[in-house]
A and B are shown apart, each in its own frame.
Chain A
Amino acid sequence: MNFEFTEEQLMIQQAARDYAQRELIKDVLERDATATFPTHHVKALAELGFMGMMVSPDYDGTGLDAVSYVLAMEELSKIDASVSVIVSVNNSLVCYGLEKFGNETQKNKYLKPLARGEKIGAFLLSEPEAGSDATSQRTTAEDKGDYYLVNGTKNWITNANSASTYIVITQTNAAKKHKGITALIVEKDSPGITLGPHEDKMGMRSSDTHSVMFNDVKVPKENRIGEEGFGFTFAMKVLEGGRIGIASQALGLASGALERATAYAKERKAFGTVIANHQAIAFKLADMAVKVENARNLCLKAAWLKDQGKPYGIASAMAKQYAADIAMEVTTEAVQIHGGYGYVKEYHVERLMREAKLTQIYEGTSEVQKIIISREQLK
């Protein structure tokens, strides 16, 4: 068994770290306060190759492995999870879904500009009444011959405003329930699409989240991904990989909070010595370090399985559930170690804590991950 990274993987990790610690840090607090989309960072990350990391160079991606993706996601998320969720959705939901299941025409037309980062993608699955229960889709796509007529509402859509390319999960045959679900590529500027207001979120405030309303939106048949009825399998397969991205994001939030708490504990004095010398704090840091290391190992294991072409759905569910839950715990402890300073924005850890909360909710709640894991366990 080999736990060593390759030279290239280490360089990618360092590149992500350099970008995060040098550039993202500059305006992360301001963008959090004003909920401003990081347009300039997305452009710079695209130029560096982070927006289509795992897409084959044949489709203008970088062709990296999932292990590199985990390393990059962790480093970006240590500083700015709003930026890393934009990277994650584009990479592991939209680009992955198109590359794995799209046809050649769709890949050339839609995947290439997404992999280059010239355009951004969004993945539209959640609905006002269908979140964790993805089978009850109410957005309909009615067959009108050479096009579908799409109607309905999607909720909590990351990149909704900044994206040009949507992948929309629709119901094409309600009688067949989840076997009647179909995935469509929809261009955001299609007539009949309107966006709800920007969601005023607790964390990840620099990413743009909206609901998206479809009112008689015409989508050409050639934009269907796979056959009719393939949409549910498509969504589940894509989310298997998506979980690695969000698990790594949660890992980064936790390890970023641990780094900040460790540095603070070595500086801050109380009762005549730095607080790191008090066992109450030192043991907290030990517990946090073990959790972060466990989360990292789960993320890397899932990524490694994916790279080896082996089944990774359970591994990625475990990584997502565990990393998200410990991200909440570790960031909360980081705030506690910082005391009053942890509760003010300047010290970043309160933001990491707010952002960690979302990793337990989106791309499958921790509870949904446990359904996946326990079903496998009880087979």
Chain B
Amino acid sequence: MKILVLIGNVPDTTTKIKFNADKTAFDAAGVQWIINPWDELALTRAMELKEAPGSKVESVTVANVGRQETEATLRKALAIGADKAIRVDADARDAFYVASQLAKVCQGFDLIFAGVEASDYNGAAVGGMLAELLGMQSVSAVSGLQAEEGFVRITREIEGGSQTLTAATPLMAIVQKGIAKEPRIPAMRGIMMARSKPLEVLSPVDTETRVSFASFDLPPAKAACKKFSEEQAKELIHALRDEAKVL
């Protein structure tokens, strides 16, 4: 079994978000980049599948769409244990553009992991779109995956419980948190070996984008907490009804 894990290069989750002057683009100055947290969990699960006793997993490959500066993120994935990385040399412009670029690297894999969304734009579109472009079956919101002989057993979180299903490969698994317990910390030796692993760079295919971003806005600052004493029941009801409008 060959596994491909799609890797998003996203700002560290503690980044203070800023936009450019006309609010049409994210200001990336001084930002530290990380593996998209859902993708990191997917990679961790892929490594667990590969390292399990009697595993049939031959290789774990990682791929992303991004410029050269995103290679540090791919090398982190190699440090965690992936065998090979592929980078499509283009900016990740929108979901359709990214899915179109990734479609050409997805050939020949039995199991493809895509994070349910990326922590930057939260588009939650690439995995499904890519499966459609490839004509490949996909399962979304996967929170558990076991490899069996010729098929995979999947757990999904659904309203009020969980669902277990089996699916034949090749398969696109669009994964949710829970797919692995915690992202794997790379071992020192893995870090030192990352540079010696193959990192293939492909040129992008010619595709249009389908979305243009009109503007970005930061969420309004959180209002301060209001405290009411025991004697202020009336004021509390007034605040809940007229200010917060929850009653």
- A contact set with B: CB distance below 8 Å: 7-8, 10-12, 15, 18-19, 22, 47-50, 53, 57, 62-64
Across-interface contacts of A50 in B (CB, < 8 A): 188
Give the shortest distance, in Å, between B49 (CB) and chain A (any CB): 19
B75 lies within 8 A of chain A by Cβ:
yes
Q: Are A22 and B182 in contact (CB under 8 A)?
A: yes
Q: How far is the CA of A15 from the CA of B188 in the complex (A)?
A: 8
**From DSSP, what is the main secondary structure of chain A's interface residues?**
helix
B186 near A15: Cβ-Cβ < 8 Å: yes
A15 and B191 within 8 A (CB): yes
Question: Which residue of the partner chain, among A7, A19, A63, contacts B185 with CB atoms under 8 Å?
Answer: A19
When A62-B192, A63-B192, A64-B192 are in contact, do A11 and B185 touch as well, CB less than 8 Å? no
Q: How far is the CA of A11 from the CA of B76 in the complex (A)?
A: 7
Confirm or deny: B72 has a beta carbon within 8 angstroms of a beta carbon on chain A.
yes
The answer to whether B188 touches A49 (Cβ under 8 A) is yes
Contacts of A63 in B (CB 8 A): 192
**B210 in the interface, Cβ–Cβ < 8 Å?**
no
The docked-state distance in angstroms from the alpha carbon of A282 to that of B150 is 62
Asked if residues A48 and B72 are in contact (CB atoms below 8 Å), the reply is: no
Interface readout for B152-191 with A: 1 if CB under 8 Å, 0 if not?
A: 0000000000000000000000000000001101111101
A15 pairs with B185, CB closer than 8 A:
yes
Please tell me if the beta carbons of B72 and A7 are within 8 angstroms of each other in the complex. Answer: yes
| Contact between B187 and A8, CB atoms less than 8 A apart | no
Query: Does B79 count as interface, using CB distance less than 8 angstroms?
Result: yes
Indicate the size class of the contact surface on chain B: 10 to 19
In the complex, the chain A residue whose C-beta lies closest to that of B186 is A15
- Nearest opposing residue in chain A for B75, CB measure: A7
Q: How far is the CB of B34 from chain A (nearest CB, A)?
A: 9
Please state if A8 and B186 are interface contacts (CB–CB under 8 Å).
Answer: no
Please state if A48 and B187 are interface contacts (CB–CB under 8 Å).
yes
Whole-angstrom CA separation of A263 from B160 in the bound complex = 38
Q: List 26 interface pairs A-B (beta carbons < 8 Å), by A numbering.
A: A7-B72, A7-B75, A8-B191, A10-B72, A11-B75, A11-B79, A11-B194, A12-B191, A15-B185, A15-B188, A18-B183, A19-B185, A22-B185, A48-B185, A48-B187, A48-B188, A49-B188, A49-B189, A50-B188, A53-B188, A57-B189, A62-B188, A62-B189, A62-B192, A63-B192, A64-B192
Nearest chain A CB to B30's CB is how many angstroms away? 14
Tell me, rounded to whole Å, the shortest Cβ–Cβ distance linking A244 to chain B.
18
**What's the Cα separation between A22 and B186 when bound, in Å?**
14
Complex alpha-carbon distance, A53 and B195, angstroms: 18
A77 to chain B, nearest CB (A): 17
Given contacts A48-B188, A63-B192, 19 further A-B pairs with CB under 8 A are A7-B75, A8-B192, A8-B195, A11-B186, A11-B194, A12-B188, A12-B191, A15-B187, A15-B188, A15-B191, A18-B183, A22-B182, A22-B185, A47-B187, A48-B185, A48-B187, A49-B189, A57-B189, A62-B192
A8 to B79, CA, bound (A): 9
CA distance A63 to B187 in the complex (A): 13
Chain A residues within 8 Å of B182, by CB? 22
Say whether B187 contacts A49, CB under 8 Å: yes
In the bound complex, CA of A63 to CA of B192 (Å): 9
Question: Closest CB-CB distance, B68 to chain A, in whole Å?
Answer: 12
User: Which chain B residue lies CB-closest to A48?
Assistant: B187
CA gap between A50 and B191 in the complex, in Å: 12
Q: How far is the CB of A19 from chain B (nearest CB, A)?
A: 6
Contact A11 B187, beta carbon cutoff 8 Å: no
- Which residues from A are CB-within-8-Å of B185? 15, 18-19, 22, 48
CB interface residues, B 75-128, toward A, < 8 Å: 75-76, 79
Residues of B within 8 Å of A11, CB to CB, are 75-76, 79, 186, 191, 194
